[in-house]
Amino acid sequence: MNLSICIITKNEKEKLIRAMQDLLSMEVEIVVVDTGSQDSTVQALSELKKQPHKARLKIAEFEWIDDFAAARNEAIKQATGKWIFMLDSDEYLMKPCDEKILEMLLRKHPGQVGRVLRRNLIPAKPAAREWISRVFEKAYYHYEGAIHEQLVPNDPQMQVVLFETNIYLEHDGYYGSDEERRKKATRNEALLLKELNERGDDPYLLYQLGKSYYMDGEMEKAAEQFDKALGFDVDEKLEYVQDLVETYGYALMNSGQTQKALGLEGVVDYFGHLADFCFMMGLIEMQNARFDEAILFFQKAAQVPQGKVEGVNSYLAYYNQGVIYECTGNKEKAIEMYRKCGNYPKAVTQLANLTKND
């Protein structure tokens, strides 16, 4: 298959070697660009290259210049395949990829951008799924942006058309020690602030800066950046805008600004078809003691076939309805909702408490 899997890495030897295990069994080229590792990553890759594999492993080194797009573009330059699959060293194949189906999809969509489904593992929270653009023809695309870089066509007039691939990833980049997460957040925030200073306020960069603050637990600073981003005329159909609105709501709740969060009722017409948005609105209404409104949002979330965060359109929506019914004295409805949650531990506990004397 005429495909190059490109990975940029730095000081993530253990994760990278784990990610490589499934890839090496594929008949593809794997290009790893190291940007200055000091943890023997290059040596480990060199040993791996000596072993027999279906895949062809190519190792390159690139001096880190505080620019993720530059590193990714170097990986693309080093690749010889017609198609590029860009992968991070903390991402792993959830299941083996059927190469024949993937090759058929690539041939069917010349010049288009393939999306992969990624499951993000987040400490102490439900996993979240998202479709991300990662597969493309080398001749037509490159990356731009020092941080949270974006794939753009070489020809500004080219219309980007997306298609879904059969690639499913798991991402554990949010795990690690507090020191590691703080170091990564500090790096990202510095790069984003530098780019904002050079380019001026940009809604996407403000969103990413807010996300960085949010993941670092700085909720007030996150909400401030999200607020700035939403001050622009943004396209509500863009996925980052949808996530921007939802994360803004959580940042407001987590920083004690629950009444201000009610203002998001004004964008229900734009985002009310999304399970994650409806679930978030249910929590906002719940925190403002608007229980009837909260129930309606949770019911709506449960009617949407799919959500990004696991459970928002099923057991989490039912559980929160159960909590409201229990707190307002409607034991029968509370039991009904908790039973709908299946084996969700919190619901099992509440159900046991409500039925122990029955």
Tens digit of pLDDT for each residue in 110-137? Answer: 999 999 999 999 888 899 999 999 999 9
For residue 82, the SS3 value is coil
Percent of the chain with pLDDT over 90: 88
The reply to whether 178-355 shares the fold of 3-171 is no
For the domain made up of 3-171, the CATH class stated in words is alpha beta
Start-to-end C-alpha separation, the chain: 63
Decide which of 335 and 176 is more confident.
Answer: 335
CB 75 within 8 Å of CB 58: no
Q: Say how many CA atoms lie within 13 Å of 8 toward its Cβ.
A: 20
Q: Mean pLDDT across the chain, nearest whole number? A: 94
Give me the mean pLDDT over the 12-24 stretch: 92
Band of pLDDT at residue 44, cut at 50, 70 and 90: very high
Residue 291 CB burial class (10 angstroms; 0-12, 13-18, ≥19): middle
Measured CA to CA, the distance from residue 299 to residue 292 in angstroms comes to 11
Nearest partner of 6 among 95, 72, 103, 99, judged by Cα:
72
Give me the mean pLDDT over the 192-196 stretch: 93
- What is the reported pLDDT for 175? 82
Give me the mean pLDDT over the 11-26 stretch: 92
**Contact partners, residue 249, CB within 8 Å, separation at least 6:** 261, 264, 280, 281, 283, 284
Nearest partner of 148 among 106, 112, 195, judged by Cα:
195
Going by the DSSP 8-state scheme, the letter that residue 309 receives in this structure is: B
Give me the mean pLDDT over the 143-152 stretch: 90
Tokens of 19: 């990610």
- What is the reported pLDDT for 28? 95
Measured CA to CA, the distance from residue 99 to residue 18 in angstroms comes to 20
The tens digit of pLDDT for each residue in 330-349 reads 999 999 999 999 999 999 99
Measured CA to CA, the distance from residue 99 to residue 355 in angstroms comes to 52
Decide: pTM greater than 0.85. yes
Nearest partner of 278 among 219, 211, 256, 270, judged by Cα:
270
List the chain domain ranges: 3-171, 178-355
Percent of the chain with pLDDT over 70: 99
Band of pLDDT at residue 358, cut at 50, 70 and 90: low
Band of pLDDT at residue 269, cut at 50, 70 and 90: very high
Nearest partner of 244 among 226, 228, 256, 259, judged by Cα:
226
Tokens of 147: 């941080």
Band of pLDDT at residue 99, cut at 50, 70 and 90: confident
Tokens of 17: 């070697």
**pLDDT of 299 strictly over 90:** yes
> Strands, E, within the chain: which ranges?
3-9, 29-34, 56-61, 83-88, 91-93, 113-120, 128-137, 141-144, 150-153, 162-171
Q: Which fold does the domain 178-355 belong to in CATH?
A: 1.25.40
Band of pLDDT at residue 176, cut at 50, 70 and 90: confident
CB 281 within 8 Å of CB 249: yes
Band of pLDDT at residue 260, cut at 50, 70 and 90: very high
Band of pLDDT at residue 177, cut at 50, 70 and 90: confident
Measured CA to CA, the distance from residue 4 to residue 82 in angstroms comes to 8
Q: 334-342: long-range contacts (C-beta < 8 A, 24 or more apart)? A: 340/315, 341/315, 342/315
Tokens of 66: 């505080």
CB 59 within 8 Å of CB 134: no
**pLDDT of 153 strictly over 80:** yes
**pLDDT of 59 strictly over 80:** yes
Give me the mean pLDDT over the 62-82 stretch: 96
Tokens of 110: 């010349």
Measured CA to CA, the distance from residue 19 to residue 41 in angstroms comes to 13
Q: Which amino acid is at 254?
A: N
